[in-house]
Amino acid sequence: MTTLRQRLVPYGLMGPGLLWLALFFVVPMFFMAWFSVSSGSLEAGWSLTWTFSNYTDAISNYTTQFGRSFLYAGAATIFCLLLGYPLAYAIAFKAGRWQNLMLFAVIAPFFTTYLIRTIAWKTILEDSSPVVSFLKTIQVLPSDGRVLATSAAVIAGLTYNFLPFMVLPLYASLERLDLRLLEASKDLYASATQTFFRVTLPLTAPGIIAGVLLTFIPAVGDYVNATFLGGVNQSMIGNVIQAQYLVINDYATAAALSFTLMIIILIAVMLYIRFAGTEALMGDEEEASA
Amino acid sequence: MTDSTWKRPATKIAIAVAGLAAALTVAACGSTGGSDNSDVPTAPGGKASGTLNISQWPLYIDDKTIDEFEKATGIKVNYTEDVNSNTDFFGKVQPLLANGDSGGRSILTVTDWMSKKMYDLGYLQKLNPDDLKTVFNHLIPSLQDPAFDPGRTYSIPWQSGMTGLVVRTDLAPDIKSINDLFDPKYKGKVTMLDELRDSAALVMKADGVEPSEASTEEWLAAVDKVKGAKESGQIRRFTGNDYVQDLAKGDVVAAIGWSGDAVQAQADNPNIEYVQPEQGCILWSDNMSIPVGAPNSPAAYEFMNYVYEPENQAQIVEYVNYISPVTGVKEILTKKDPELANNELIFPSEKFLSKCSNQVSPPGDDAQQKEVENAWLSVVEG
């Protein structure tokens, strides 16, 4: 039998966290939901009119920006994975005594603010920069082309800024990998490639899933990269929401856009975990129970 | 639902959070009604002392004036450069001001149209001219009766400026008119400000439409023209102050920008120059106001009077390089710094400004204004 006191302990531990969540996440969500079906203006005040057309208007007016956000975030996530996996693999298995230094190097950019790092990319990609001249020399870019203020610049910025969020979970799951399983694979005459695809990759799937979610979700809502590295046709949905709130003070449209974005992300993430995720996660569970 | 569902920890947490949130929402749900300015108070004057909190734009004062003001008056000043854009600042302070709270600010500084918007919403107090004797003795005549605030009842100019062309004269020597920004020769090499009241207004002026007399349709036509140039790749970006860096690097050869920026940028790169558009510029002022709920308004009056003393004002103008609203400053600077006193961007002649228009908002009621603002937003955030 548990005493009352024992039963209350979990609530005591959860309490501060719950209060925090309720105050700063759930309450604002209620207000946002309220605004998203309201009508009015700052001058006249807002009233709850159950105007669901806020949603249809918001979606039909800004379909392009929604599509663009998912495209950019998706591309950045794929690039992060392609760059991050070999990097995490190298840090986990090949770095030797340099391991800690390399991990530190992955985290080091966080010592500078996000904004400054993004603005630094403006200098890296400016029209007369060595990077751009090089791209022109090898004819990837036409001689009157530019990188800054294009989609490529925004995706490059997102990839750069979110790379650590991909590398760290990948590193954590690679680090935990039982090396005896790799030996066993070799003993059973699997080639290095076979070992990688049939042992290493499946066992680190939880790390990949975590990395993809940590990269993709914040990247979809990002607006800093598009602001500084994008041009006139690179606005993401975050830029639209920011402008709706702060420039024209249309809280209803802004709230409807925010909710729509949230719901799409939620659905996308659930589908992702269901289709891409369960197999890997279940495989892991079977492994554990075996 | 089975009993076991209720015992699952996740369910318990969810219920606890939802319950708590519901309670807090009920507690927090206040009025969200609109506001107007029917009962705006007049800020009281009197003997000044204590602490004065000022919200101002960055790089808008020299580094000596505040210290000297503190020494001369015994008032302690907290001078905060937290106004980066009219709209962002408004978004930040609006929830406070709507509840009659200024967040401790006794003076805030915003541009003409935003001053009017704030006053119309009842966020700014009226000013008592008897407490502003120095200000009204030295305010230049052209700024005494602006259309948005005749007789200056709630706004006192801090500095004024021009919106026009900022050009790399070495890379684009032939740009003289806003229409030249649409020349295919400069495709992808021009930027515009993301401010509707600057960029769209200049574009319509270039086509012979006076912004203060323009109809909603004429505003929409100007927005549409910008939209075409954006879609063809003519316009590289819509910017805030950051166009100066693009110009310095040569990524951009001509921009719609502000005169004071040009004076400051020219000091670093002599090829960056303000060019008065052939069809004229947009003139604006940033104004000091006392918000509702402001503590210590006597100190705010004292500060306004202090910066309107020509000697004190000259010191500010020497640093900020915008147009001063105070009489007698040019005479002082002619002795101190003749080059500055002869700069048309700081002391423009009537001829230099002859074709310029005051900055205005689109016409009509709320819905009509919103139509133009939404159209502009969909261009800028396309």
Distance CA A103, CA B131 (A): 63
pLDDT of residue B13: 66
* B188/A146 CB distance under 8 A: yes
| Residues in A touching B9 (Cβ below 8 Å) | 10
Is A275 inside any structural domain?
Answer: no
Are residue B308 and residue B213 in the same domain, yes or no? no
Are residue B170 and residue B61 in the same domain, yes or no? no
Shortest CB distance from B87 goes to which of A29, A240, A247?
A: A247
Are residue B181 and residue B136 in the same domain, yes or no? no
| Residues in A touching B250 (Cβ below 8 Å) | 127-128
Is A81 inside any structural domain?
Answer: yes
Distance from CA of A85 to the nearest CA of B (A): 33
Distance CA A252, CA A256 (A): 6
Is B9 inside any structural domain?
Answer: no
Domain assignment of residue A123, given as a range: 66-234
Show which of residues 53-72 on chain A sit within 8 Å of chain B, judged by CB atoms.
61, 64-65
CATH of the domain at B88: 3.40.190.10
The single-letter DSSP state of residue B40 is P
pTM beyond cutoff 0.80: yes
User: How far is Cα of residue B94 from the mean position of the Cα atoms in its chain?
Assistant: 16
Are residue B244 and residue B278 in the same domain, yes or no? yes
pLDDT of residue B2: 46
Is B347 inside any structural domain?
Answer: no
B243 closest CA partner among B231, B221, B261, B220: B261
Show which of residues 212-241 on chain A sit within 8 Å of chain B, judged by CB atoms.
228, 230-233, 235, 239-240
Is A266 inside any structural domain?
Answer: no
Is B336 inside any structural domain?
Answer: yes
Are residue B249 and residue B221 in the same domain, yes or no? yes
The single-letter DSSP state of residue B235 is E
* A41/B377 CB distance under 8 A: no
Are residue B296 and residue B376 in the same domain, yes or no? no
Is A193 inside any structural domain?
Answer: yes
Q: What parts of chain A have a pLDDT lower than 50?
A: 282-290
Q: Does A124 touch chain B (CB under 8 A)?
A: no
CATH of the domain at A202: 1.10.3720.10
Shortest CB distance from B34 goes to which of A45, A247, A250?
A: A45
Is A194 inside any structural domain?
Answer: yes
Distance CA A216, CA A73 (A): 6
> Count of domains in chain B?
2
Is A17 inside any structural domain?
Answer: no
For an interface test with B, which of A242, A247, A250, A257 has the most B Cβ atoms less than 10 Å from its Cβ?
A247
Which chain A residue has its CA at the smallest distance from B29's CA?
A31
Distance CA B74, CA B49 (A): 7
* B251/A18 CB distance under 8 A: no
Rounded alpha-carbon distances, angstroms, from residue B28 to A21, A250, B242? 16, 22, 39
> Count of domains in chain A?
1
Is A210 inside any structural domain?
Answer: yes
Is B298 inside any structural domain?
Answer: yes
Show which of residues 163-202 on chain A sit within 8 Å of chain B, judged by CB atoms.
none
Domain assignment of residue B366, given as a range: 161-283+357-380
**Tens-digit pLDDT string for chain B (382 aa):** 445 555 566 666 667 667 766 666 655 544 455 567 777 889 988 888 899 999 999 889 999 999 999 999 999 999 999 998 888 899 889 989 999 999 999 999 999 999 999 999 999 999 999 999 999 999 999 999 998 999 999 999 999 999 999 999 999 999 999 999 999 999 999 999 999 999 999 999 999 999 999 999 999 999 999 999 999 999 999 988 789 989 998 999 999 999 988 988 998 899 999 999 999 999 999 999 999 999 999 999 999 999 999 999 999 999 998 999 999 999 999 999 898 899 999 999 999 999 999 999 999 888 899 899 999 998 998 7
